[in-house]
Structure 1
Amino acid sequence: MNENPAVEGADIDWALQEVIGRVATAADEVGKNDPAYTVSYTDVRNARLQIYRKSLTHDDFDLQRYLALAPEGVSIVFEAAALSATEIEHLMDLIYALAPEFKAAGIRLHSWGPDYATGMRILYTSDTPEIPRRLVEKLEIYGPGTVTFEVGSVVNLADFRADTDS
């Protein structure tokens, strides 16, 4: 694999990318009515769209609605997700709302976001050796292990002054 993303992207079939992109947009629309839908990703090199859903087993949603979106030569594959898009959105709001409680406990939340396969990931720094269980339990509303904490912070590589002489 090339280490230079520009070189690595040089062999992409851009026409196929456009087709799969339209399929992804359509899948997102179908996903609005699918309670288990999480997100979709285009995979041009393999001519496929990956659809992440919380459920890979038979449920009440007709998966054929997704499969019917793919033109000939494009496949749709389903991947397991730990949380649905609705659950992710709810957790994002909940984390934001609980930030003052974390701060009061000496825990600084730096960033959070979904890892579609494993759940919500939170980067933090702390003055205490561990996160109080009561705070973890407030976030594990979709099951144990659906929220993970990792010591770390976001590194700002540049700011608004990075493109000036000052």
Structure 2
Amino acid sequence: MVRVSTRDEILRVAAERFAHFGYKGTSLQDIAAGVGCSKATLLYHFASKDAILAQLVEAAARELGELVARLEPLDAAAAQAAAIDGFVDLVLRYRREAALIYGGIPQFLQEPAFADLLPLTDALCAALAGRSDDASACVAAKVVLSGIVTVVIDEDKDPTELRAALLGVARRALIHPHEKD
């Protein structure tokens, strides 16, 4: 039998509570009670609720940074296409983490521990919008970003089928919004 560490159990319970009650609606005491430990034990492993959330989203945030870095040297059209593919793949790989990051925007990004995510999210939205200053392109990018996260969290379809559907919808909404496939 594999024994789960207290630290891993804290992360598991915190992810469940954040998903169900939101970041702001979950206290350290709620997490500790869910784990079956004291708040002092929880604080031995994590300095704060922000530290728990940061650990939960660390890998996804790192990959988001890598995606944004890959988009920077590309022209607008290539960056848009790469942003669509890259974001869909990232969200499919990190469903829970994406829900934590993007489910709580803008509240989540206002937390000091996550200030680095706001510029990454802005850069991703700019790439999704084809680096356009047009307000409708920027709104469409934000809608697509939020929609992808929402659909992926609630959808139990085969990942390959879901990926193809998400890419098709995102491309229609962002690249050629007035054309039919």
Q: TM-score, normalised by structure 1?
A: 0.30
Q: Looking at secondary structure, tell me which structure has more helix per residue.
A: 2
Which of structures 1 and 2 has the bigger CA Rg?
1
User: Higher RCO, 1 or 2 (CA under 8 Å, sep at least 6)?
Assistant: 2
Q: TM-score, normalised by structure 2?
A: 0.28
Q: Looking at secondary structure, tell me which structure has more strand per residue.
A: 1
